[in-house]
Structure 1
Amino acid sequence: MSSAKSMPIYKKFVQEGIVKYKLHEFMEKISDKAGFHGVEISSTPIRDIITVYVESPGVMIGRGGRTSKRISDILREELGIQNPYIQAKKVDKPFLSTRIVASYIARRIAKGERYKKVAYSALGRVMAEGAKGVEIRLSGKFGSQRAREERFREGVIYRCGQDYIENVEYAVKHVLMPQGMIGVRVRIVKPGVRGPDAVVIKEDEIERIRERIKSEIESLSESEVVEIPEELEGELEVASEVKEDESEQA
């Protein structure tokens, strides 16, 4: 990303932030069919490497690299990135990405498929990837009926607090239909997330404590074993007899 040499440092950071935002917005729009997940840009003295994470890298690059070349020309003209190099990387588990899931639902609804079928299909594929929970909300006018919201949920979804901030990924997508706009909102709780109510039993710690207690018991000598005096034994026998009599009377 080019910038003037005399530019103050804070203005440089602001300009780079604006370029990154515009780049993300542009790449999300142009690589929607490829299943856009995210984009990273790293600047070197020779060129700016733009890494796009998508579901289908082949769709992103195009036949013979035509699509990537066209995107490079647009980035050079629109965003001022002088020497961009675009590379596409495949997302390992695409249906754990809320952006990919939201785009998947929006594309299928735009093709005229039933929204419930599409939502349940996406729900199953997300859980099959190992997600702890998923929620899909579709809002808008379906068919000739009034606008409403449909919710589809499976697993655990955190609503607020630190668990929501750290463990829930959120994405929104809109699709324009003849009857109006339909909004698609997706929330996913990634695999391996441990909630505040989760109880973890440390088996190795328990086994270590057992071994320590066992070794301490074995190390006790006969002289350290406490013996009950004879006079106390008699008192204990009398107390037990009194207790038995009280239980019989009751």
Structure 2
Amino acid sequence: VQISKKKFVADELTEDGYSGAEVRVTPTRMEIIMLATRTRAALGEKGRRIPEWTPVAQKRFGFPEGSLCAIALRYKLLRGLAVQRPCYGVLQFIMESGAKGCQVVRAKSMKFVDGLMIHVGDLVNYYVDTAVPHVLLPQGVLGIKVKTMLPWDPTGRTGPKKPLPDHLSIVKPKDEILPTTPILGQKGGKPEPPTMPHPVPTA
């Protein structure tokens, strides 16, 4: 698998002075370090090639969507951008992709939240995907936690089949069959005469 990932990087950076790649695998994440003689050409203008490689690598190697967004956020921070701008950009991208909620936590001091997010209970194991990349900045190692809450999907394709306890499903009512002919009486009997109001005596 590592050889295929290195070959993928080599094919992408052939024209940009590719000189090697290193794959680091940990229990929580996988890092691919690319070595090139022309780093600016490899990343593209303002790092635009990173988001272009994201869907390709996801389909080819089966990366989780949350970890790919976290990796993109990691590279944005490495380029020296302010924290707020890339975090809000990741939030918007995840919510537009169909997530029910998202949360980005920077060093336990800054939180960026959008949508609905559950934190406790057994449903967290089914509804929440978590990715924790690490960024080596001049001031030290910075940890970023990206949590994505999946939507409920009865088919189990985009989310868990088990609904939330407070989920309400509105059932469409059945079409009522209206009678085509007027009903004058019950069981073929004669129609009852209308009741007349009793006169009220006046003094």
What TM-score do the two structures reach when normalised by structure 1?
Answer: 0.47
* Alpha carbons of structure 1 residues 29 and 171: separation in structure 2 relative to 1, 3 Å: closer
- Contact 1:135–1:152 (CA under 8 A) maintained in structure 2: yes
How many aligned positions are there? 150
Q: Secondary structure at the match of 1:106?
A: helix
**Residue in structure 1 matched with residue 49 of structure 2 by the alignment:** none
**Residue in structure 1 matched with residue 102 of structure 2 by the alignment:** 134
Taking the aligned partners of 2:135 and 2:31, their CA distance within structure 1 comes to 15
Taking the aligned partners of 2:78 and 2:32, their CA distance within structure 1 comes to 16
Answer with 1 or 2: which has the greater Rg: 1
**Residue in structure 1 matched with residue 119 of structure 2 by the alignment:** 159
- Contact 1:32–1:103 (CA under 8 A) maintained in structure 2: no
Question: What is the identity, as a one-letter code, of the residue corresponding to 2:60?
Answer: K
- Contact 1:55–1:90 (CA under 8 A) maintained in structure 2: no
Question: What is the identity, as a one-letter code, of the residue corresponding to 1:31?
Answer: I
Question: What is the identity, as a one-letter code, of the residue corresponding to 1:25?
Answer: T
User: 1:231-246 residue pairs with structure 2 within 5 A?
Assistant: none
**Residue in structure 2 matched with residue 6 of structure 1 by the alignment:** none
**How far 1:191 moved relative to its partner?**
3.7
**Residue in structure 2 matched with residue 106 of structure 1 by the alignment:** 74
Taking the aligned partners of 1:121 and 1:108, their CA distance within structure 2 comes to 10
* Alpha carbons of structure 1 residues 97 and 226: separation in structure 2 relative to 1, 3 Å: farther
**How far 1:162 moved relative to its partner?**
3.4
- Which 4+ runs in 1 deviate beyond 4 A? 217-221, 225-230
**How far 1:26 moved relative to its partner?**
8.5
* Alpha carbons of structure 1 residues 228 and 221: separation in structure 2 relative to 1, 3 Å: closer
Q: Which has the higher helix share?
A: 1
- Verify: 1:124 aligned to 2:92, yes or no: yes
- Contact 2:74–2:135 (CA under 8 A) maintained in structure 1: yes
Instruction: Determine what percentage of the aligned residue pairs are the same residue.
Output: 18
- Contact 2:130–2:148 (CA under 8 A) maintained in structure 1: yes
**Residue in structure 2 matched with residue 81 of structure 1 by the alignment:** none
What TM-score do the two structures reach when normalised by structure 2?
Answer: 0.56
**Residue in structure 2 matched with residue 40 of structure 1 by the alignment:** none
* Alpha carbons of structure 1 residues 32 and 207: separation in structure 2 relative to 1, 3 Å: farther
